[in-house]
Amino acid sequence: MKLFGIEDDDVINRGDVLCPRDPLMPASEMLECELEVLELLDYKPILSKGYKCIIHLHTIAEEATLKDIIVAYEKDDKGEIIEKKTPKFTKSGARIICRIATRIPIAMEKFDTIP
């Protein structure tokens, strides 16, 4: 692919996003998302505020930190799903809505704007 205004020595990195000039693709260092906590590491069996991990978004892999757990949906001993608002931690098998911070801004579309 040839791009107008890009010289051969300009660097295009993995994860760069091609978008129109107006409006530009929004970029953010903080995102709110829904996660399915499949399996945590044996030496880190609890997911809590400050948990460090790698986020894979589009074609990039970036260090991220869990800032807040807003809601956690966990199964109890009977298999019923319990909703916990602002829990301090959660374990494997939970579904959570949380805020994650990245080290650098990442281009991403808002869920509401995806056709």
Q: Give the C-alpha separation, 28 to 101, whole Å.
A: 9
- What is the CATH topology of the domain spanning 27-113? Elongation Factor Tu (Ef-tu); domain 3 (2.40.30)
pTM of the model: 0.75
**Residue boundaries of the structural domains of the chain:** 27-113
Please write the tens of the pLDDT for every residue from 60-105.
889 999 999 999 999 888 889 999 999 999 999 999 999 999 998 8
The candidate with the shortest Cα–Cα distance to 98, out of 45, 12, 37, 27, is 37
Please write the tens of the pLDDT for every residue from 24-33.
778 889 999 9
What residues have CB less than 8 Å from 7, skipping those under 6 apart?
Answer: none
The candidate with the shortest Cα–Cα distance to 52, out of 40, 38, 66, 39, is 66
